Structure 1
Amino acid sequence: MTTLPTILIADDDRSIRTVLTQALGRSGYQVRTTSSAATLWRWVEDGEGDLVITDVVMPDENGLDLVPRIKRIRPEMPVLVMSAQSTILTAVQSTQRGAFEYLPKPFDLGELLAIVDRALKQPAMQAPAEPSGAPEDNLPLIGRSAAMQEIYRVIARLTTTDLTVMITGESGSGKELVARALHDYGRRRQGPFVAINMAAIPRELIESELFGHERGAFTGAANRHVGRFEQAAGGTLFLDEIGDMPPEAQTRLLRVLQEGEFTTVGGRQPIRANARIVAATHRDLRVLIRSGQFREDLFYRLNVVPIRLPSLRERPGDIPLLAQHFLNRAQAEGLPSKTLAPEAMVRLSQYRWPGNVRELENLMRRLSALVPQSTISEEIIEAELSDRAIEDAPPPAGAEPPPDTPQALERVIERHVARLMTEAREAGEDGVLYDRVLAAFEAPLIRLVLGETRGNQIRAAALLGLNRNTLRKKIREHEIGVTRRVG
């Protein structure tokens, strides 16, 4: 007779113990529960159980401290860690100490059952690592939303690797903070963290900044210059706004990623590259690839582990936490202490934050410095956000750019795309926006060109820069009537 796997559960919340007992029991497992870390440890020492599920905060001991002890005497036993603290530090420490998986509370029962099944089939064998020395009161990322919890879990899994990471997200959403967290909690944390913003450096200087140059390599090169790759040796190199990297530098970067070495500008001696690469961009690199502005092979070299950082409007539940965090930080820097009235916090959560986390941080810092009251009221927030709404609103009709200018065309396109975005969002349709926008502008473009060429498809294809067969296909797709006119 086959013995059913036994799950050991330690949590001081009786309702959670009851729910897990029922769910795991229905799935065919035997379950033992306790509210005591000491009891759990005794069971493990006695050789009981096949898998452990433990909370972090318990009356007699921190569950995280149990994990490496369990792994030392029972390395084959998977340990799942649950926590209502839900910070990046909890996720990272769970992984570093040997946990098979970390689950923030509240958790999805279906997900937990799937993890238990996977853990029992492929038991975790990793040895516990020493926790990083990152201070808990200065966490790099703030938020307890589901989107941020998933990012914490990804970062935690990457702390023991040197895999290349691509971070995408809107400007101001915190991409560099994610890059720093990958470094600060990773195994290269004793090395340097070196950042370079491709959009902030003149194109002709990017190769020199990245790879360095020798004395006399070009006019003005009076001394040898150490590039960012050398500066980042043993640590992490953060390539911000990678979508703005010029083609020549893209080619050299690809070679470094392929061969693991580089030469300085004007140099001949290869230098071994010894830095973890983390890249970031607010642009859609796949669009840049289609337009020939970004190398596809470089994209796949960089996009080994993609992390998409959500905009602030996608996680409004995190806004109160972030706002209070920024007020606390401002006070620590010497600005007056401020608190937000509950109504003010609600109003902050309703705003769309086009500038994302950076905009919220700037607002909290400004209010800390300028508002004389100790409590920031809803009226103060409303006045601030109203001013910003006016700044962000489209100009009145009289302020429209002159017709027949690129600015006027851009304004029309923006409005049309915004309408298509709204329609797609309301219909709950993902993955269709690009094709719809393309179709909306491609069809009238082809009609106009065919009108200009009087229906001559050979001349129209040449004018558009398309293959004739491609043009015919698009004419059929858009059901464009073609009449060849003579004269």
Structure 2
Amino acid sequence: MVIEVLLVEDDPSIALVIDAALVAEGANVTHVETLAERDRLLQRQRFNALVTDVMLPDGDGIETLGVVRTLCPEMPIVILSAQNTLDTAVRATDTGAFEYFPKPFDIDELARTVCQAAGSAGGGDALEDEDIVEDGLPLVGRSPAMQSVFRMITRVLRNDLTVLILGESGTGKELVAEAIHQLGNRRAGPFIAVNTAAIPAELIESELFGHEKGAFTGAVARHFGKFEQAAGGTLFLDEIGDMPMQAQTRLLRALQSGTIRRVGGQEDIRLDVRIVAATNKSLEPEIAAGRFREDLFYRLNVVPIHMPPLRERRDDIEVLARHFLQQAASEGLPRRQLTPAASRLLGEQAWPGNVRELKNFIYRLTLLAREDMIDVEVVVPLLRQAASAEPAPEGDPERSDIETAIVQWLESAQPASGTIYASALAALERPLFASILRQTAGNQLRAAQALGINRNTLRKRLSELALDPEEFARR
């Protein structure tokens, strides 16, 4: 069977590529450039699938899909868009579109998807047409990495599947959780966020599951936990990788049974809540080390969403910077703009603190800049200040003079491969022993005690390093 596809695209070069890919898949493509041509064709001809851009010469391809649904209610629709925002992704999904492709897209994947859509009954799992898109969506970004995030978000809006958001600190994991709640079918309910790493281990069960009066010392009244507070809405469990093991067991039982029991209670309470969890840790090593339950991981990891670090979405830095400038102005700070050169400079930075660091920097820049137009000369000094105050990377030791010295030694000595460890030990031991011997006036017994090593070991190493303790005694 030949698949008849209607393509609505006003860019001839894009249309040509799509046409060729679909023909290679055995489809017959009819190409038009306007919505008016689309509607005239649909009134007199049947198509197996519609592929449409959003911004067209005579209107919005998404807003006008109501006409298409009236004329061809069962025809699957694939939407293309260069407006790569979460707003567009959600609008496309809410129309009941079979798939949404942000530009640039993989042309072969598009062709396969269109053919799959044409072969599906009724266009797949169409979503109800609801007007839920509002201004002020919490996520900003048009990079390919963020498009993957947006597409994953749209897939969980009409179900209650558990979501696990993974990513470094400052990437916006809580914003993803908020977007899932605000745009999903539980938006009328509460959004309750809890940082599981910030609650003392002895209180976390009470905070999550609640407690009955008299359950423990200080429990003077019944307390409703976060699960009950979030009833009908979304419970966001942040820093889940740091949750104490005992609480992990209780959480697993709650997810398995769909019920909770307050501390000191006898009654099982049926859950009515969507669970979204997040962590900046890689949970596989935590599982291997016995600090995180493997069965809980699989319960939480139903739909994983990976938040990319800012260094992997540099195309978004300028967009984010403009967004934060506008946000700062709305909060009472002066209204500023960045010159193109200043924007490029920001895009070249590493931003180890990710979006959170960029936001704080833009707010500081807005406050301290003297002119409405911010140029490179204003940005550079603040970048230097930020670099000097930058903490060591998370999970690494603090930067120190020793670390700097080692780097410099490696660059200057360039020890041969296979000898680096021995050479480094020798390079470190010699000045270390000399310093201690200088403090002890060459007394080897006191030096060995200070170093915490055996005197014979010290004597052997001094001989190998050609260090004479008598020289330090004379000094």
TM-score, with structure 2 as normaliser: 0.80
Does the residue aligned with 1:102 lie in a helix, a strand or coil? strand
Which one of the candidate residues 233, 236, 240 is aligned to 1:235? Answer: 233
Does the residue aligned with 1:200 lie in a helix, a strand or coil? coil
Please report how far the alpha carbon of residue 73 of structure 1 lies from its aligned counterpart in structure 2 after TM superposition. 4.7
Please report how far the alpha carbon of residue 167 of structure 1 lies from its aligned counterpart in structure 2 after TM superposition. 0.5
Does the residue aligned with 1:239 lie in a helix, a strand or coil? strand
Question: 1:133 — aligned with what?
Answer: 132
Deviates more, 1:225-234 or 1:106-115: 106-115
Please report how far the alpha carbon of residue 131 of structure 1 lies from its aligned counterpart in structure 2 after TM superposition. 3.2
Does the residue aligned with 1:274 lie in a helix, a strand or coil? coil
Kept in 1, the 8 Å contact 2:4–2:48? The answer is yes
Which one of the candidate residues 214, 217, 221 is aligned to 2:215? Answer: 217
User: Which amino acid is the alignment partner of residue 42 of structure 2?
Assistant: V
Question: 2:445 — aligned with what?
Answer: none
Kept in 2, the 8 Å contact 1:50–1:78? The answer is yes
Question: 1:467 — aligned with what?
Answer: none
Which one of the candidate residues 375, 378, 394 is aligned to 1:377? Answer: 375
Provide the rounded CA distance (Å) in 2 between the counterparts of 1:236 and 1:192: 6
Which one of the candidate residues 48, 58, 61 is aligned to 2:59? Answer: 61
**Equivalenced residues, count:** 402
Provide the rounded CA distance (Å) in 2 between the counterparts of 1:258 and 1:87: 36
Alpha-carbon displacement from aligned partner over 1:139-178 (angstroms, at most 9, x marks no partner): 2111111110011111111111111010010000000001
Provide the rounded CA distance (Å) in 2 between the counterparts of 1:306 and 1:161: 14
Question: 2:151 — aligned with what?
Answer: 153
Is residue 7 of structure 1 aligned with residue 8 of structure 2? no
Is residue 336 of structure 1 aligned with residue 334 of structure 2? yes
Is residue 79 of structure 1 aligned with residue 77 of structure 2? yes
Unpaired runs of at least 5, structure 1: 402-407, 416-439, 441-487
Question: 2:242 — aligned with what?
Answer: 244
Please report how far the alpha carbon of residue 365 of structure 1 lies from its aligned counterpart in structure 2 after TM superposition. 1.0
Which one of the candidate residues 275, 285, 289 is aligned to 2:287? Answer: 289
Provide the rounded CA distance (Å) in 2 between the counterparts of 1:77 and 1:394: 55
Provide the rounded CA distance (Å) in 1 between the counterparts of 2:248 and 2:241: 10
Does the residue aligned with 2:6 lie in a helix, a strand or coil? strand
Please report how far the alpha carbon of residue 44 of structure 1 lies from its aligned counterpart in structure 2 after TM superposition. 2.6
Provide the rounded CA distance (Å) in 2 between the counterparts of 1:393 and 1:13: 48
Provide the rounded CA distance (Å) in 2 between the counterparts of 1:39 and 1:201: 61
Provide the rounded CA distance (Å) in 2 between the counterparts of 1:274 and 1:244: 25
Question: 1:24 — aligned with what?
Answer: 22
User: Which amino acid is the alignment partner of residue 376 of structure 2?
Assistant: E
Alpha-carbon displacement from aligned partner over 1:216-267 (angstroms, at most 9, x marks no partner): 1111111111111001111111000001111111011001100000111111
Which one of the candidate residues 356, 359, 363 is aligned to 2:357? Answer: 359
Question: 1:309 — aligned with what?
Answer: 307
Report matched runs for 1:48-127 at 5 Å. 48-123=46-121, 124-127=123-126
Is residue 170 of structure 1 aligned with residue 149 of structure 2? no
Provide the rounded CA distance (Å) in 1 between the counterparts of 2:40 and 2:218: 71
Provide the rounded CA distance (Å) in 1 between the counterparts of 2:183 and 2:30: 34
Please report how far the alpha carbon of residue 47 of structure 1 lies from its aligned counterpart in structure 2 after TM superposition. 4.2
Question: 1:468 — aligned with what?
Answer: none
Shift in CA distance, 394/47, structure 1 to aligned 2, threshold 3 Å: closer
Shift in CA distance, 65/246, structure 1 to aligned 2, threshold 3 Å: same
User: Which amino acid is the alignment partner of residue 262 of structure 1?
Assistant: I
Provide the rounded CA distance (Å) in 1 between the counterparts of 2:95 and 2:54: 13
Please report how far the alpha carbon of residue 72 of structure 1 lies from its aligned counterpart in structure 2 after TM superposition. 5.0
Kept in 1, the 8 Å contact 2:231–2:271? The answer is yes
Question: 1:459 — aligned with what?
Answer: none
TM-score, with structure 1 as normaliser: 0.78
4+ runs of 1 displaced by more than 6 Å? none
Kept in 1, the 8 Å contact 2:191–2:235? The answer is yes
Please report how far the alpha carbon of residue 76 of structure 1 lies from its aligned counterpart in structure 2 after TM superposition. 3.1
Please report how far the alpha carbon of residue 37 of structure 1 lies from its aligned counterpart in structure 2 after TM superposition. 1.2
Kept in 1, the 8 Å contact 2:96–2:129? The answer is no
Kept in 1, the 8 Å contact 2:325–2:336? The answer is yes
Shift in CA distance, 132/212, structure 1 to aligned 2, threshold 3 Å: farther
Shift in CA distance, 51/394, structure 1 to aligned 2, threshold 3 Å: closer
Please report how far the alpha carbon of residue 132 of structure 1 lies from its aligned counterpart in structure 2 after TM superposition. 4.5
Question: 2:437 — aligned with what?
Answer: none
Kept in 1, the 8 Å contact 2:196–2:243? The answer is yes
Kept in 1, the 8 Å contact 2:213–2:221? The answer is yes
User: Which amino acid is the alignment partner of residue 164 of structure 1?
Assistant: T
Does the residue aligned with 1:310 lie in a helix, a strand or coil? coil
Shift in CA distance, 134/255, structure 1 to aligned 2, threshold 3 Å: same
Provide the rounded CA distance (Å) in 2 between the counterparts of 1:82 and 1:335: 38
Provide the rounded CA distance (Å) in 2 between the counterparts of 1:366 and 1:345: 15
User: Which amino acid is the alignment partner of residue 102 of structure 1?
Assistant: Y
Kept in 2, the 8 Å contact 1:55–1:82? The answer is yes
Question: 1:275 — aligned with what?
Answer: 273
Kept in 2, the 8 Å contact 1:71–1:128? The answer is no
Kept in 2, the 8 Å contact 1:68–1:128? The answer is no
RMSD: 2.3
User: Which amino acid is the alignment partner of residue 364 of structure 1?
Assistant: I
Kept in 2, the 8 Å contact 1:134–1:184? The answer is no
Unpaired runs of at least 5, structure 2: 394-398, 408-420, 422-475
Does the residue aligned with 1:337 lie in a helix, a strand or coil? coil
Provide the rounded CA distance (Å) in 2 between the counterparts of 1:128 and 1:219: 50
Provide the rounded CA distance (Å) in 2 between the counterparts of 1:394 and 1:235: 38
Provide the rounded CA distance (Å) in 2 between the counterparts of 1:187 and 1:41: 32
Kept in 1, the 8 Å contact 2:117–2:124? The answer is no
Provide the rounded CA distance (Å) in 1 between the counterparts of 2:378 and 2:130: 43
Provide the rounded CA distance (Å) in 2 between the counterparts of 1:351 and 1:71: 47
Does the residue aligned with 1:64 lie in a helix, a strand or coil? coil
Does the residue aligned with 1:153 lie in a helix, a strand or coil? helix
Please report how far the alpha carbon of residue 43 of structure 1 lies from its aligned counterpart in structure 2 after TM superposition. 2.5
Please report how far the alpha carbon of residue 329 of structure 1 lies from its aligned counterpart in structure 2 after TM superposition. 0.7
Provide the rounded CA distance (Å) in 2 between the counterparts of 1:8 and 1:134: 27
Alpha-carbon displacement from aligned partner over 1:305-359 (angstroms, at most 9, x marks no partner): 1111000011111100000000011111121110111111111111100100000
Report matched runs for 1:318-333 at 5 Å. 318-333=316-331
Kept in 1, the 8 Å contact 2:96–2:126? The answer is yes
Question: 2:186 — aligned with what?
Answer: 188
